[in-house]
Structure 1
Amino acid sequence: MACRISELVLDCHDPEALARFWCEVLDFIVLDREDDGSVEIGPREGFGGPQPTIVLSRNDEPKNGTLRLHIDVNATDRDQNAELERLLNLGARPADVGQTGEEQWHVLADPEGNEFCLLKARLAPL
């Protein structure tokens, strides 16, 4: 028997604002709010499905350097360039983590500077 990823936890300064951003990016909804200000977002069918949820956990410490683990996303209903434009309009911004410019993916940062990549391939929606 093996494990599977059920949740990702991302420390952030403003869980509500980051929840709004990532809900728009991933077509997720808010599943839970905790008394400590944490917000859990996930697919509309809720926790335990094929996609992990994301817990946005309040942390006032400054972000130090690039993340050691980052999220990769793929468009499901448009090509990469159209999805890049959509993500930039949502508040993502280009990020430089040492890429050459020849990559087939785009490195972006969410509104709090957490890096993520937009990959080239289009995936079927779940």
Structure 2
Amino acid sequence: MACRISELILDCTDPEQLAAFWSEVLGYVELDREEDGSIAIGPPDTGFGGPQPILLLSLSSNPRPARLRLHIDVSATDRDQDAELERLLALGAKPADVGQTGTESWHVLADPEGNEFCLLHTRIQPL
């Protein structure tokens, strides 16, 4: 293996809000705060360099000029898709329309700043 994804960076106007949202979605904890206001979150036991990438919520005054070219897919680990969808909506996710037909097995959602992500149908094992 040559490389492995170690972190994903998401530009945002409110790192505090998105760090709280994504920490709840992924079961992550705050790992670090940068002087520029950015917040790093990641798995509670391993942090940076572990088997899962960390997420860096990077403060930006212009975070989203166009549709994202990269998005996050999530899969439930301890409940079915419907129960996880209900949980994500309660956390502040909103349904998003990116042109889906309605026959997809996944749900397209947006986080509190409008960044699209998908909730997949397949449940996976927790790490």
Q: Distance in 1 between matches of 2:74 and 2:63?
A: 25
Give the RMSD, CA atoms, in angstroms.
0.8
Q: Distance in 2 between matches of 1:56 and 1:26?
A: 14
Provide TM-score, normalisation by structure 2.
Answer: 0.97
Provide the residue aligned with 1:115 in structure 2. 116
Shift of 1:47: 1.2
SS at match of 2:86: helix
Provide the residue aligned with 2:10 in structure 1. 10
Gaps of 5+ in 1: none
Provide the residue aligned with 2:29 in structure 1. 29
Q: Distance in 2 between matches of 1:62 and 1:34?
A: 17
| Identical-residue share of aligned pairs (%) | 72
Q: Distance in 1 between matches of 2:16 and 2:106?
A: 28
Q: Distance in 1 between matches of 2:11 and 2:23?
A: 16
SS at match of 2:62: coil
Gaps of 5+ in 2: none
Shift of 1:29: 0.1
Provide the residue aligned with 1:58 in structure 2. 59
Structure 1's consecutive aligned runs of 4 or more residues displaced over 6 angstroms after TM superposition are none
Equivalent residues, number: 126
